[in-house]
Structure 1
Amino acid sequence: MSYTGNSEETFQLIKELVTIPSPSGNTKKVISFVENYLKECGVETKRNRKGGLIATIKGMNENEHRMLTAHVDTLGAMVKEIKPNGRLKLTMIGGFRWNSVEGEYCQIETTSGKVYTGTILMHQTSVHVYKNAGDAPRNDENIEVRIDEKVKTDKDVGELGIEVGDFVSFDPRVQMTDSGYIKSRHLDDKASVAILLRLIKHIQTEKITLPYTTHFLISNNEEIGYGGNSNITPETVEYLAVDMGALGDGQSSDEYTVSICAKDSSGPYHYELRKHLVKLAEENNIGYKVDIYPYYGSDASAAIRSGHDIIHGLIGPGIESSHAFERTHESSIQYTESLIYHYLLSSMVEN
């Protein structure tokens, strides 16, 4: 049975997901969105104490389980300091570089839930004032937020209710093009979350019986390293993280195929599972690339580090300019959906 998915519907779901601010540590709204989506699909879910969401679909074999994971948490920042001039200093959430968000619109959410808008700028932005505007370091000292309110002092900012520790999220600027691309911040990893949700809906709608009981973990702490290292049932044998394939010099991944990871900074992924995924791709005419990511970690590698006795793998759509101005193509989304679908219906690998 073949399945290619519907990229237009998946794109629309990605658009909804990326529009919900969810930097690591502040993911309740997006988890509620996913929870409601799955509820409408008739799928049993539960939240873990970390705030992640677990959906379970019972299969024919209830003694051996699979788990798939994708994460809804994103890069972001927190207010580190309120400057005397009414600007905000930031501290990063997740691994990115300040130059990738320079000039970006943002939201500041106070502890009371009030939201203010602003722009992330260099202190030395104006070339008419600062001679070193072009070459001043893009660092914690020089990057600041200009709030869209009449504030001139730290006292003015305090009266708005903005405090140290408030979350700052970046405008996704999502766009879909006639040429089949979707470009947005936070495709890592909301593109994968959308893929899993669409597959779950398809399984439920078509009343497909999976060969194994399968858990879907929507994790919310991946960007800070520990989203998928818990709530893995003792029966879980295979654990597949669905996350982006990173593109760049020396990489084989692209925006048009599904990436199958052989190794990242944590070491090799399970060889037999990788070969199984490649075989499924070839048997079902799924465009794929095998790749190695030198500066990468996933929920699957976090699960291994936490001591779980599982077979682990990593696949995902190819994402251009990861942790910055991200983009992928509908064909990559379709191939990723298709590979996961065929994986879910396949037999487990022999270790």
Structure 2
Amino acid sequence: MTISIDVTYLREQLKALLAIASPTGYTDEIVHYCSRELERLGLHPELTRRGAIRAIRQGSRRRGARAMVTHLDTLGAQVKFIKDNGRLELVPIGHWSARFAEGARVTIFSGKGSFRGTILPLKASGHTFNDEVDTLPVGWRYVELRIDAVTNSRDDTLALGIDIGDTVAIDPTPEFMDNGFINSRHLDDKAGVAIALAAIEALERTGATTPVDTHWLFTIAEEVGVGASSVITADVASMLTIDNGTTAPGQNSSEFGVTIAMADQSGPFDYHLTKKLVDLCRSEQIAFQKDVFRYYRSDSASAIEAGHDVRTSLVTFGVDASHGYERIHTDALVSVAKLVGAFAVSPVEIKRDLRAISGVEGFTHQPTEQADQPAPGPAAQTVVSHTVRD
């Protein structure tokens, strides 16, 4: 069954998600938004204590369920220290370079309300520092947050209600272009959330049936390595993570089609689940490529490290300049959403996965036989004969 994705819905959801600040640790409002949208689509979200979301779409059976996981949290920063000049020293939330923080407009969430500001290098004025502006090192020690309020001292800033530990959200500054490109911060992983919602919308709109329950999971701490550690139930046998791929020199990811991750820094993804995704791309005529990520981990890693015995895989939409000034193309978002929908309705092939523990009967095999090779052509035969004569 081919799943038809509503492209307008997908893009509008991405716009709405980007408009809600959600750095790790400050995700309550986006959890509310996502929960409301899931309810509007006909699902019944359940929340963990801290706000990770599980919404189960019922299938033909409960055991051996499939999970589709994305994360609602984004990169951000936190107040590390209030300086004598009233400005703020920062530490990052998640792993990203201060190179991409310089010049960012931000919101500071304090106990007395929010404030606006700008992250600047310590030497920000060319009229004052001349060439030193260009020679200042890159790093979080070399930037500071200028608050858009009257403050010239540490005491002034404290009096505003701003304090150490306050969360700083980075403006996404999205731009949706007519040619399909989308530029914004935090496409990781709000584009993945929009993909999941678009796949759900398509399944509900078409009344699609699935062979097993589908657990739609939205985590809130992936950027700090926690992710899907505690939101998975024992019914889940396989998990598909939807996240960004890294289009950069030395990588095979693309801003078009689906990029299927074969491995990341935590190791290879499940052989059989990954092969199934490749086969679905081919049968559904979804453009795809494979890639291996060296400096990357996702919700899949946190699930396995937490002790969940599930098959895991990762499908990605290619992002140029990930964790920086990110860019994607709508084509990749739609392609991934089609694959997610196709996976949801596809038959369960490994029947043994319906049980958490069982005997060896029905356990999978991986190919080990020698591959067939074409017979050598005339040119190759000539070379062989010449070698023999010598």
Q: TM bucket by the smaller chain?
A: over 0.9
Partner residue, 2:374: none
Alignment of 1:1-351 (within 5 A): 1-112=1-112, 114-130=113-129, 131-350=131-350, 351=364
Q: Distance in 2 between matches of 1:196 and 1:295?
A: 24
Shift of 1:311: 0.6
Shift of 1:203: 1.9
Q: Deviations over 1:113-169 (max 9, x none)?
A: x11110000011112212421121122322100111121111111111111111001
Q: Deviations over 1:194-253 (max 9, x none)?
A: 111122122223322211111111000000001101132212110111111111111111
On the 8 A contact 1:276/1:349 being kept in 2, the answer is: no
Letter in 1 for 2:313: G
Quick check: which has more Rg, 1 or 2? 2
Q: Secondary structure at the match of 1:25?
A: coil
**Worse-superposed segment, 198-207 or 102-111:** 198-207
Q: Secondary structure at the match of 2:64?
A: strand
Shift of 1:34: 0.1
Identity %: 35
On the 8 A contact 1:126/1:133 being kept in 2, the answer is: yes
Shift of 1:93: 0.4
Shift of 1:292: 0.4
Shift of 1:320: 0.9
On the 8 A contact 1:99/1:138 being kept in 2, the answer is: yes
Q: Distance in 1 between matches of 2:339 and 2:209?
A: 17
Q: Distance in 2 between matches of 1:2 and 1:213?
A: 19
Q: 1:276 to 1:87 in 2, by over 3 A?
A: same
Letter in 2 for 1:71: H
Structure with bigger helix share is: 2
Letter in 1 for 2:317: P
Shift of 1:348: 2.9
Shift of 1:85: 0.5
Q: Secondary structure at the match of 1:274?
A: helix
Structure 2: stretches of 5+ with no match in the other structure: 351-363, 365-390
Q: Secondary structure at the match of 2:39?
A: helix
Letter in 2 for 1:172: P
Shift of 1:347: 1.9
On the 8 A contact 2:203/2:341 being kept in 1, the answer is: no
**Worse-superposed segment, 137-146 or 118-127:** 137-146
Letter in 2 for 1:126: S
**Structure 2 length-normalised TM:** 0.88
Shift of 1:349: 4.2
Q: Distance in 2 between matches of 1:49 and 1:264?
A: 29
Runs of 4+ in 1 over 3 A off after TM superposition: none
**Structure 1 length-normalised TM:** 0.97
Q: Distance in 2 between matches of 1:140 and 1:297?
A: 23
Q: Distance in 2 between matches of 1:101 and 1:263?
A: 29
Q: Secondary structure at the match of 1:228?
A: helix
Letter in 1 for 2:13: L
Letter in 1 for 2:31: I
Q: 1:144 to 1:349 in 2, by over 3 A?
A: farther
Letter in 1 for 2:281: A
Q: Distance in 2 between matches of 1:292 and 1:198?
A: 26
Q: Distance in 2 between matches of 1:91 and 1:102?
A: 13
Q: Secondary structure at the match of 1:261?
A: strand
